[in-house]
Amino acid sequence: MQDTCVVLLSDFGSRDVYAGVMKGVISRIAPRVRLIDLTHEIPPGDIRQAAFRLWQAFHHMPRGAVFLAVVDPGVGTARRPLAVRCEGFSCVGPDNGIFTYMLEGRLDAKAFEISRLEDLLGPGSRPHSNTFHGRDVFAPAAALLARGMDIARLGPPARNLVRISLPRLSSDGPRGPVRGEALHADGFGNMVTSIGALARSGDVVRLDPWVPGCAPLILPASRVRLRLGNGRELHLEHTFGSVPVGTPFAYIGSDNLLEMGVNGGNASDLLELASGTEIILFWQ
């Protein structure tokens, strides 16, 4: 198997050497592997946001990619180190729910506990640190998988993986509103919501839910509104230039999830939105 790429995500930030050290370990074991830094700016310990960012990105990566995800507040405890293979890609990281969104609905996923690294790496492999499994466990495992090693060689099968709760998404029937939540703000202050996947064609919006809990719906786009917790309502628009500067609005984002933005501004600040806040999509 030809070397593929390792896609790295962590909460290490760019100030310290941790992300670079992981890349160095991978390059020693698999010199030809390509490295993609997805992000190292996940808020410290925020497993839920890490799970979402992985879901955002994995559709766009090359087939055979290995996702190395290290947001690991339980490092050094009894939580298991995992490697998972599913639909042509692999994941390496802690068993803390970080892969929940990626694996939702994928019944062919096979997981293995990483427990045989010392045998696989041979003489000279360094002892494991209790606080940096990204360097000592996950990076070597990802490198071996990127070189084409059979995932089952890493350790025994792992069952009953830890899962975090899926984003809220429900509807009150074909005529009722759709209820979701604000998820995360991006670097521009645009707030991504759990309402989607959405596709717009003319004056019709189709909702094909990306998580269980809501049936597919056909909505009249010109009548769709988004209601926030404080009672404020936003119109559904095509893009930022569709509204005057400083105007907040709702739109279908690049991941086909409903988002809230402000033309030339920061929606998270202006609308005082927090992750987890309930939002309601309705049509009049």
The verdict on residue 162 lying in a domain is: no
134 and 187 together in one domain = no
Q: For 226-246, how does the pLDDT look when each residue is reduced to its tens digit (9 = 90+)?
A: 999 888 999 999 999 999 999
Residues 190 and 146 in one domain: no
Q: Do 195 and 278 lie in a common domain?
A: yes
Domain of 139, CATH number, reads: 3.40.50.10790
Instruction: Tell me the sheet residues that pair with 27.
Output: none
Structural domain of 218: 170-283
- Cα–Cα distances in Å, from 139 out to 21, 26, 124? 9, 6, 16
pLDDT tens, position by position, 105-139: 887 899 999 999 988 987 666 667 889 999 999 99
Asked whether residue 54 falls in the same domain as residue 149, the answer is: yes
CATH number at residue 179: 2.40.30.90
Whether residues 88 and 229 fall in one domain:
no
Question: CA 211: distance to chain centroid?
Answer: 13
pTM exceeding 0.85? yes
pLDDT in tens, 175-203: 889 999 999 999 999 999 999 999 999 88
Are 174 and 115 members of one domain?
Answer: no
Q: Quote the tokens at residue 86.
A: 């599913």
C-alpha angle 169/262/168, rounded to 5°?
10
Q: Are residues 36 and 140 in the same domain?
A: yes
Reported as a single tens digit per residue, the pLDDT across 78-90 is 999 999 999 889 9
Do 92 and 18 belong together in one domain? Answer: yes
